Amino acid sequence: MTAKPKIAFYWCASCGGCEEAVVDLAEQVLDVVAAVDIVFWPCAMDFKRHDVEAMADGSIAATFVNGAVRTTEQEEMAHLLRRKSRVLVAFGACSQLGGIPGLANLSDTASVLATAYRTSPSTVNPDGVLPQRHTVDGGHALGLPGLYETVRTLDQVTDVDYYLPGCAPTPKLIAAAVQALLTGALPAKGSVLAPDIALCDECARKASKPDALALAAFKRPSEVVLNEEECLLAQGVLCMGPATRGGCEAACVQGNMPCTGCSGPTSRVRDQGAKALSGFASLVASNDAAEIERITGAIADPVGTLYRYALPASLLRRRRVAVS
Ligand code: SF4
Ligand code: SF4
């Protein structure tokens, strides 16, 4: 009997949503489990790092890594799994682009820790204790991974073969990727495993997207009762569809919410946020500097809107921090 291909899953700086996306394959997950031998999946199975270390290099057919890379342990695991795997897939927006954890690149690590452990309204920490890398408790030494100053994408740490986009990738895209891996019908190395079209091209509202728009105000979805049929951009709501890769079948727009850009750019766009910014800027219905300032000033969180998932992968990458 031919041995089944070995598959691994790993999570780095992740919310767990990408793990749930695998389970969301529903009954198809049984087909996957029947076709492969899952040799490492810390979220679901009790394999340890030393089990992976004991495997022969290149013995895992494919490893799917979700989450961005923020800690020393995540970087070590990325290198280890790269060595053990013939194919390494960056799974989901955080792994591909940096994702939501990548917005921490707007701050330095000390501020992130202070907010999380001292100043956030839900924190109770009267002594202001912060996580320690090395602690001795009851005669036992405990260690924590180190935090890097900058959140990185998986391919900023190690060589990546394919990218599965989305926050999280849809079951349809995951199933197609697994099928391609099992049959060897893979595209060129470095490909994003989703259609190379802008989301607008597969959006049911595209017929109502005007060729030319002049907006006197950008609105947040909470500020307007949205027509469920009309292009959201035409209604003044910032929709990232024109700057975002399709493949998710415009799930958010189907729910009457704008695209927030989780599938990243198409192959023709280097910087998703810059592409969106140039598109949105061309919609401003004024040539007067003060009026332009008023209209664009209404965008509550420009970085969080334009680079919500892709700051570490962007040309900007991070905000500069003072080095003491
Ligand atoms: S891509 Fe989205 S679902 Fe996946 S780990 Fe990141 S935030 Fe969570
Ligand atoms: S801008 Fe948004 S709502 Fe309009 S067609 Fe593109 S994806 Fe659809």
Task: Check: CB of residue 103 under 8 Å from CB of residue 167.
Answer: no
pLDDT of residue 201: 97
Coil vs helix vs strand at 257: coil
Look up tokens 């990548």; give the residue.
Answer: 102
Distance 220 CA to ligand 1 centre (A): 23
CA–CA gap between residue 73 and residue 251 (Å, rounded): 34
The residue nearest atom 2 of ligand 1, judged by CA position, is: 167
Mean pLDDT over all residues of the chain?
Answer: 94
CA–CA gap between residue 314 and residue 63 (Å, rounded): 25
Categorize the per-residue pLDDT at 322 as very low, low, confident or very high, splitting at 50, 70 and 90.
Answer: low
Distance 310 CA to ligand 2 centre (A): 19
Task: Please give the DSSP secondary-structure letter assigned to residue 208.
Answer: G
| Amino acid letter, residue 307 | Y
Look up tokens 């899953």; give the residue.
Answer: 9
CB distance 253 to ligand 2 below 6 Å: yes
Categorize the per-residue pLDDT at 226 as very low, low, confident or very high, splitting at 50, 70 and 90.
Answer: very high
Residue with the larger pLDDT of the pair 77 and 1: 77
Coil vs helix vs strand at 29: helix
CA–CA gap between residue 240 and residue 258 (Å, rounded): 7
CB distance 43 to ligand 1 below 6 Å: no
Which atom of ligand 1 lies at the shortest distance from residue 18's CA? 4
pLDDT tens digit sequence for 139-166: 999 999 999 999 999 999 999 999 999 9
CA–CA gap between residue 261 and residue 308 (Å, rounded): 7
Which of 22, 43, 66 to mutate for ligand 1's pocket (most ligand atoms within 8 Å of CB)? Answer: 66
CA–CA gap between residue 264 and residue 246 (Å, rounded): 9
Q: Classify strands 37-40 and 6-11 as parallel, antiparallel or unpaired.
A: parallel
Indicate which ligand has the atom closest to the C-alpha of 221: 2
Proportion of the chain above pLDDT 70, given as a percent: 98
Which atom of ligand 1 lies at the shortest distance from residue 20's CA? 3
Report the C-alpha dihedral over residues 245, 251, 254, 256, rounded to 10 degrees. -90
pLDDT tens digit sequence for 276-300: 999 998 888 888 999 998 988 888 8
Task: Check: CB of residue 57 under 8 Å from CB of residue 83.
Answer: yes
Indicate which ligand has the atom closest to the C-alpha of 91: 1
CB distance 181 to ligand 2 below 6 Å: no
pLDDT of residue 25: 79
pLDDT at 172 over 60: yes
The residue nearest atom 3 of ligand 1, judged by CA position, is: 17
CB distance 14 to ligand 1 below 6 Å: yes
Going from the N-terminus, what domains does the chain have, and what CATH number goes with each? Answer: 6-100+149-183 (3.40.50.700), 199-306 (no CATH)
pLDDT tens digit sequence for 307-319: 999 999 999 999 9
Coil vs helix vs strand at 87: strand
Whether pTM exceeds 0.85:
yes
DSSP H helical segments within the chain, as ranges? 17-23, 28-35, 49-53, 72-84, 93-97, 109-114, 171-183, 251-254, 272-281, 289-297, 302-306
Token pair belonging to 138:
């009851």
pLDDT tens digit sequence for 90-111: 999 999 999 999 999 999 999 9
Indicate which ligand has the atom closest to the C-alpha of 66: 1
